[in-house]
Structure 1
Amino acid sequence: MLCLTFRLLACAALVCATTLHASPLLRCELTYAGSTQTLEATPVDDPYPVASVDVGGRFYFKAVVVGRGAQPEYIKTYAYLDTRTQPVLVQQATYLPPFATAPGGQRLTGKQFVYAGPVERELQYECVLHGVQP
């Protein structure tokens, strides 16, 4: 019985240690025309191959977390309006460390409202950063 208890405690400690050293995760909630989708971004070394995602056929959104380890080097978000000829950048934001830690993740961007196009379409987004070490 003592051996089983020891094994359970060892497993619990391993799970806690793995959770504490998990890679950062950026989770963004994107809303357009009453429809919401979630985008998750994990750290990369090279930001250029990261693809943007289609948001309701009107916008594209891209979130990039650059750097390895528990503290990203930087985070960038991009919002593009989809036009007939090509996507047009309408908002870009850069976030630099130190990133504060909080239970449930750090609210990185706050609620953002992006307006673009001839009739001022509205894209809303908010990103939360999880798993960052101080």
Structure 2
Amino acid sequence: MYSPMVSADALLRCDVTYAGSTQVLETLAVNDPYTVPSVDIGGRFWFKAVMVGHAARVDYIKLYAYLDTRTQPLLIQEAIFLPPFKTTSPSTPLTGTQRLYAGPVGRELIYSCTLQGEQP
């Protein structure tokens, strides 16, 4: 498996917006994806950004978006990114702007993520 080199400070940065309010979520590489918590977004959604790797490499990135329902969070999107990642600048766009609609009235969750510190 190809594993790109990353600097020691490789960072996945996601800007997540709901109802006009933006949260900036920053994620470092982890060995165990199950330890990464989901983040409450405005009481309507949950967002989880996972970057798995060790030392100076990223094995994969997974992004999860959930709608918060009365019974349990409902997965509305899982995005998987595998290396090699496009490297065009110190802050590489990973997702572009994503717009997700869910719930009975089509609530909108907007996010975009960049990978910072990745090297070819």
TM-score w.r.t. length of structure 2: 0.91
Radius of gyration: which is bigger?
1
Q: Which structure has more helix as a fraction of its residues?
A: 1
Structure 2 Cα separation of the partners of residues 35 and 94 of structure 1? 25
Shift of 1:103: 2.4
Moved over 6 A (4+): none
Kindly report which structure 2 residues correspond to 1:113-132, keeping only aligned pairs within 5 A, or say none.
Answer: 113-132=99-118
Q: Which structure has more strand as a fraction of its residues?
A: 2
TM-score w.r.t. length of structure 1: 0.82
Alpha carbons 1:105, 1:128 under 8 Å: kept: yes
The CA RMSD over aligned residues, in Å, is 1.2
Question: Residue 95 of structure 1 aligns to which amino acid in structure 2?
Answer: F
Name the residue aligned to 1:82.
68
Alpha carbons 1:81, 1:90 under 8 Å: kept: yes
Question: Residue 58 of structure 2 aligns to which amino acid in structure 1?
Answer: P
Name the residue aligned to 2:87.
101
Q: Which residues of structure 2 form unaligned runs of 5+?
A: 1-5
Name the residue aligned to 2:21.
35
Q: Which residues of structure 1 form unaligned runs of 5+?
A: 1-19
Question: Residue 114 of structure 1 aligns to which amino acid in structure 2?
Answer: L
Paired residues, number:
115
